[in-house]
Chain A
Amino acid sequence: MKPMGRFHGTGGELFVLFLKNGFLTLITLGIYSAWGKAALYRFFFSNTEFAGHRFQFTGTGKEIFLGILKAFLLLGAILAGAFALSVVLTFVMPKAFASAVFVTAIYGGIILLSAYSLFASTRYRLSRARYRGLAFRLEGSPWEFTQSVILKVLFCILTLGLYSPVLLHHIKSRLFNQMRYGNLKFAWDAPIKEYWVLCIKGYFLSIFTLGIYYFFWKPQMYTFIRKHLTLGGQRFQGSFTPGQFAAQVFTNIFLAIVTLGFALPWILVRDVQFRLAHLALENPEILEAAVKAEAQKGGATAESLAGIFDMDVGVGF
């Protein structure tokens, strides 16, 4: 496999960008963070090359800022709603039950909102991503996605996590299968049974071997996820050896420790470089065959919600 990905950015550039964003965010009392986020996206997108061409982020700081405002209003409304509910409930049931309902409503709301924002933020990022002049998009609606996830989340809790690979498979499958590049479709055909076995084996063996198996498991997962992903019928490829992965991880840890965390920008860039250096597409000619499809709208509200919950479950290129 000849790698087709390449990252042009450097840790130094990212470090300067972090400094600039941090400083401006501080003196503007946080307002600049939206523009800072847009600049970060531009840095990562514009520096990412695949099959000879680079990505482009077309989103703006302004729309992310409006998204943050809407996200906070939405959160406030939900909290106020839950509070009002608990007040009303105190009239009809004992206080302890009312508080239990309140807490359940809050946690339930957070789970629902997390699922919603996972979908909607992925949709936002894809809709603002351009490659060779054409945009990506994510079909389907965030509510539909949220509904499809909710029972599975409950099962995960009930089975103490044994069901979680099914949930992860479902999320990946939904997101990948609804992704489009122009008129070309992405598809993910990973058999659920194999995925479940791979995950469970990974969790338990990693624990039993005190983490050693993790370095064998992660490369397996990476290859498995990519080999089942197609674009316009062409399969993605990508693999690395446990040795390469361990070297990558340990170097990152070493850098983080000796620089007391200051190497973070370099570590992030190294990671993107590592992933891109192990990614290819069976027949890249397909990338020239995409035709423009209808552009997708969709604000940055969920993008900000996902940011608030510190949730960044990328679709994993």
Chain B
Amino acid sequence: MAVIWRGRAHLFDGETSKPLQIDLSLEPDGLEIHAADVSRFVGHYRRKVLRWLEVREDGLIRLELTAHPGVLLEIQSQEARHFLREHGLDRVHWLPHVSLAAKVSIAVMGLVLFIAGFFLFGLDGFSRLVVKHIPDSVDRELGEKIPSLHLISDTTIGPVTCPDLDSARSKSIALIQSLGAPGLEGLRVEVAPDTSIVNAFALPGGRVVVYTGMLRMLETQQEWLALLAHEVGHVSMRHGMRSMVRSSVLTITAALIFGDAAGLSAFIFDNAQRLTTLKYSRVDEEEADAFASEMLLATGYSTQGLAQLFEKLDRVQEQPEWSAFLSTHPASGERIAAAKAKAVGNKNALSDFLTEAEWKALRSGCGP
């Protein structure tokens, strides 16, 4: 039999730390221990009973003899390493590894595809399912987590109030609530006195915040009702909560992948703050539009306001003061077209529902 390498090595019997000297040769079909400090290890070992642990670049070779559990053999020789590689002796161990790697790759690719598919197509449905099981009271709780307006913007003053504005708000709320859409029991409209901000958003639970900057841009009461109905649509369909579930899934997945518990805890602590910057999905926005259309039609008002509002959004695309609202409410051509199509069919619009004084107080935020 051709000897491919012969030399001295160390053997550890697993019982003591004393290294035993051995004289061994590596052969194409296994290895032979010719002499050892302890004679019971002398003998021929076939490839099958050799378990290669490592073959390192610097010539360290480690293997176990399965016939002697706990026994470790250490060879330190570059020459032996070259012979091993050349004759493929250590492949006894590496071969099944190659096929395992292929299996792992397929499994991993499948997993990657599954996760990607879930995020692309399943996340929205999943968030709807989860939200169904979360009681409405949690929405209100979350909405209330934003204690005052100055946390949301630079505005240091709280929401404004005066008799005419209060009555405008009550009338608007009563009109919307009269429809009986779900989740609108706690509906509340807050007017934030900041003319520099052209924005409006709805927090989960029914808190709708509108800046005077936005109110001043409105020309008709129908536009106001359309804006309110759209924001209320987000509340009624619990888009805030849905969006939270979606972003939670994303954050938790990212934390799992990158092992980032700090990010996870930051997410849990900061979540209330995120509510104000939540971006609803395109589907959410379309749902809110549809809700607004239906609501306006059902209450006997024209959906013309919605179309006007969208046209306004389309016109102001390039104007920086609108960027906050547009970033969360992209004015897509399809949305404008959809709103216009519905507006055409409704010619019997009711007249204004707010008095002149109420409308003025609303648009100016109780100002002059």
Contact = CB atoms under 8 A, between A and B. Distances in A.
A40 B107 CA distance: 23
B19 A132 contact: yes
A27 B70 contact: no
Contact of B14 (A32, A42, A134): A134
A46 B56 contact: yes
B14 A292 contact: yes
Interface residues of B, number: 32
A53 B74 CA distance: 9
Nearest to A181: B17
Contact of B17 (A68, A134, A308): A134
B144 to A, nearest CB: 10
B261 A133 contact: no
A289 B17 contact: yes
B62 interface: yes
Interface string B61-76: 0100000001110100
B258 to A, nearest CB: 6
Contacts of A31: 108, 111
Contacts of B111: 28-29, 31
Interface in B218-277: 256-259, 261, 264-265, 268
A309 interface: yes
A27 B15 CA distance: 43
B54 A46 contact: yes
A288 B37 CA distance: 15
A130 B54 CA distance: 14
A133 B112 contact: no
B261 A309 contact: yes
A134 B16 contact: yes
Contacts of B264: 75
B322 interface: no
A181 to B, nearest CB: 8
A58 B187 CA distance: 62
Interface in A139-192: 181-182
A8 interface: yes
Contacts of A221: none
Contacts of A291: 15-17
Interface string A121-138: 000000000111110000
A13 B112 contact: no
A30 B256 CA distance: 7
Contact of A287 (B17, B53, B60, B261): B17
Interface in B316-337: none
A13 B111 CA distance: 30
A53 B261 contact: no
Contacts of A287: 17
Contacts of B154: none
Contact of B19 (A13, A27, A288): A288
A289 B13 CA distance: 13
B126 interface: no
A86 to B, nearest CB: 11
A230 interface: no
B71 A133 contact: yes
Nearest to B19: A132
B83 interface: no
10 contacts: A28-B111, A29-B115, A30-B257, A30-B259, A54-B60, A56-B53, A133-B12, A133-B70, A181-B17, A290-B17
Interface of B: 10, 12-19, 53-54, 56-58, 60, 62, 70-72, 74, 108, 111-112, 115, 256-259, 261, 264-265, 268
